[in-house]
């Protein structure tokens, strides 16, 4: 019986020795992911404040803010129109529009930029010769900006 007990003890210790590093790595990854998620969310929330937005706003409200900026700076372009799709495509491809600098120089551009990011993510079609048929409406108009940011951070 003493010999069986020693075998069992060796077996249990072996499992523990191999399991502890795996558990530690898994915990460390979870903590890092959680910290990174909180850090990204707080950085993006700061940007929202700079752009006159709140985390509780919906994508639909963001769309209205984006349209206000378009009305002032891009006369005649309506959100989700063919012209809007072309503008998004033009701004997000190539080096003509330094978007990060544009947002930095003009925080009022932030709501349009944020909406364009959401739009681009949902509707971008690489085939520029034959763009989407522009029944392009976002699927998440009722989501809050906080939910959009969290989904983005979590890779959804």
Between CA 15 and CA 125 the distance in angstroms is 51
- pLDDT number for residue 31: 47
- pLDDT number for residue 93: 83
pTM, two decimals, is 0.66
Between CA 102 and CA 92 the distance in angstroms is 12
Between CA 50 and CA 108 the distance in angstroms is 8
Enumerate the H helices of the chain as residue ranges. Answer: 2-50, 59-73, 82-92, 99-105, 110-123, 145-153
- pLDDT number for residue 40: 46
pLDDT beneath 50: ranges in the chain: 13, 16, 19, 22, 24, 31-37, 39-40, 128-135
| pLDDT tens readout for residues 46-76 | 878 889 999 999 999 999 999 999 999 998 8
Domain coordinates of the chain in residue numbers? 31-153
């Amino acid at each position: 019986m003493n010999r069986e007990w020693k075998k069992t003890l060796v077996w249990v210790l072996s499992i523990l020795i191999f399991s502890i590093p795996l558990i530690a790595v898994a915990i460390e990854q979870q903590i890092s992911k959680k910290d990174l998620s909180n850090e990204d969310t707080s950085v993006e929330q700061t940007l929202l404040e700079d752009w006159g937005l709140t985390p509780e706003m919906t994508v639909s409200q963001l769309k209205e803010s984006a349209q206000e900026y378009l009305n002032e700076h891009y006369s005649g372009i309506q959100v989700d129109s063919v012209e809007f799709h072309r503008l998004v495509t033009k701004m997000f491809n190539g080096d003509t529009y330094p978007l990060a600098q544009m947002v930095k120089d003009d925080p009022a551009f932030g709501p349009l930029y944020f909406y364009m990011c959401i739009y681009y993510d949902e509707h971008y079609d690489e085939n520029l010769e034959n763009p989407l048929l522009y029944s392009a409406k976002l699927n998440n108009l009722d989501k809050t900006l906080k939910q959009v940011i969290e989904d983005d951070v979590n890779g959804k």
